[in-house]
Amino acid sequence: MPSDIPPGAVPPDSGQHWGPPPPAGSYPSVQAPLQTTALGRASRWPAFTALAIALIALAVGLVGWFRPTPHDNQPPSKPTYTAQQTADAKARVCAAFAKLDRAVDVLKALPSDGDPLAASIDTRQVFDVFSRYLLATLSEEPAVPADLATAVREQASTLEEVVIAYQDGFGTSDPEAKPLVDANSRSADTIRQLCK
């Protein structure tokens, strides 16, 4: 074996190549792992940043969840209405009740020789519809005076009770229905007085 290796030098390994470095790109397996490692380290930072933000948001949420709420011992203030708003609300509620009065007058004017079952059904329908109509009108008019609102709620409630009594087979002349009829008359009279 000719020896062009200087004395004291280690002979080259059979897999080792002596000479000028290979041209760029001829050994991709050597350069690729270096780039992948560098890119892998760089791509971890957004993940760590997102995790840190998520942990901070979780901590803030937990603190907000368990933080005691301030106690305000004062009741919420009632809204105030102008005299005009109150008058307009009263007029609308009174107009709704006047429609009920007219519907009852129409029921009373129906011929008495007709079918009693049909008359009972008509009465139930009128009372059922107007109990809901009065409450709906009242809910749309928050400025209505308190005494009128109370009377209208009582009227609507007794109308519903009368409808239920009709469904149970009681008529307005039955003794069991008399308290309902009386309560209905009282609330109607109160509304008529307040709507003058």
Q: Which of 5-9, 114-118, 127-131, 152-156 has the lowest mean pLDDT?
A: 5-9
**pLDDT higher than threshold 90 for residue 107:** no
DSSP 96-165: HHHHHHHHHHHHHHS-TTS-HHHHHHHHHHHHHHHHHHHHHHHHH-TTS-HHHHHHHHHHHHHHHHHHHH
How high is the pLDDT of residue 13?
57
Model pLDDT, residue 108:
82
pTM above 0.85, yes or no: no
